[in-house]
Amino acid sequence: MEAVLPIWNSVYSSMSVMVNRASPTHKDMNGRKVWLDTLLTIGNYPRLHFLVLELGIWLQYNPGTVIALAGSALIHQVDGIDGDRACLAYYMRENVHRYVQVPLCERPHISDIARDLQAAQT
């Protein structure tokens, strides 16, 4: 891992590629509830939905769609379909942050933004 860290060019510590696969109802493990995952779906496939069950949201999940989601906080799923589809999932794992001694991101607070805005104006 030490050899990879100097050339790793992502804020995310992990990436997965899922091809032609359904994603059953789940919450992601090994992350933090305040961290956002980024999902990109590509391919040639019929109409598909990305479901965020706790919020009652059904998002159109067409080819080229990008979704940012707190996957460790929200139950979500994607059904299987006929066609060719790939999902590139970018996410962070708490154990990787700890192993490489990168500080963990905490929940943002409005005072953090206000402080940064004040500093930018001076």
- pLDDT score at 60: 95
Percent helix, percent strand, percent coil in the chain, to nearest 5: 20, 35, 45
Per-residue pLDDT of the chain (122 residues; tens, 9 = 90+): 667 777 877 878 888 999 998 999 999 888 888 888 999 999 999 999 999 998 999 999 999 999 999 999 999 999 988 899 999 999 988 888 778 777 777 776 777 777 767 777 76
CATH of the domain at 112: 3.60.130.30
Is the pTM for the entire model greater than 0.75?
A: yes
Q: Which of 109, 99, 104, 115 is nearest to 35 (CA)?
A: 104
**What strands, in cross-sheet order, belong to the sheet with 66-69?**
14-19, 84-91, 37-44, 66-69
The structural domain count of the chain equals: 1
Range of the domain at 52: 2-120
Would you state the pLDDT for residue 1?
Answer: 65
Task: Report the number of secondary-structure helices (H) and strands (E) in the chain.
Answer: 2, 8
CB 37 within 8 A of CB 31: yes
Q: Residue 46: exposed, middle, or buried by beta-carbon count in 10 A (0-12, 13-18, 19+)?
A: exposed
What is the model's pLDDT at position 8? 76
Residues with Cβ within 8 Å of 72's Cβ and at least 6 positions away in sequence, in order, are: 27, 28, 29, 30, 31, 32, 33, 35
CA dist 35 and 16 (Å) reads 16
Q: What secondary structure letter does DSSP report for 98?
A: H
